[in-house]
Structure 1
Amino acid sequence: MLGNRSELTGNTRDKLLSTVQNSDLSKIVNELYRPGATVGDGGTASILVQEFNSGTSKYLIKATERVKQLKSLSTSGKLGLKDLDVVDALINDLEYAISLFK
Structure 2
Amino acid sequence: MGGHSSGGLFPGASGPVDNSLDSGLGGGTIPEAETRASSPEVGSARERLLDEATTDEARRIVKELYRPNAETGDGGTADAIREQLRTGEMVGGKDHIRKGRERLRQIEKILTSNPDHPDRALLERLRDDLEDALGGA
TM-score range, shorter chain: 0.7 to 0.9
Q: Distance in 2 between matches of 1:71 and 1:62?
A: 14
TM-score, normalising length from structure 2? 0.64
- Please identify the structure whose Cα radius of gyration is greater: 2
Q: Any idea what the Cα deviations from partners look like across 1:28-80, whole Å, max 9, x if unmatched?
A: 11010000012111000001000001113511111000001111111232621
Deviation at 1:9, TM superposition (A): 6.2
Letter in 1 for 2:83: Q
Answer yes or no: is the 8 Å Cα contact 1:37–1:43 preserved in 2: yes
Q: 1:3 aligns with which of 10, 17, 24?
A: 10
Letter in 1 for 2:101: T
Aligned residues: 98
Unaligned stretches of 5+ residues in structure 2: 1-7, 12-24, 26-39
Letter in 2 for 1:97: A
Q: Distance in 2 between matches of 1:9 and 1:56?
A: 31
% same residue: 33
Aligned to 1:90: 126
Aligned to 2:37: none
CA RMSD of aligned residues (A): 2.0
Is residue 2:117 matched to residue 1:79? yes
Aligned to 2:80: 47
TM-score, normalising length from structure 1? 0.84
Aligned to 1:59: 96
Is the helix fraction higher in 1 or 2? 1
Q: Distance in 2 between matches of 1:36 and 1:99?
A: 26
Aligned to 1:28: 61
Q: Distance in 2 between matches of 1:32 and 1:89?
A: 12
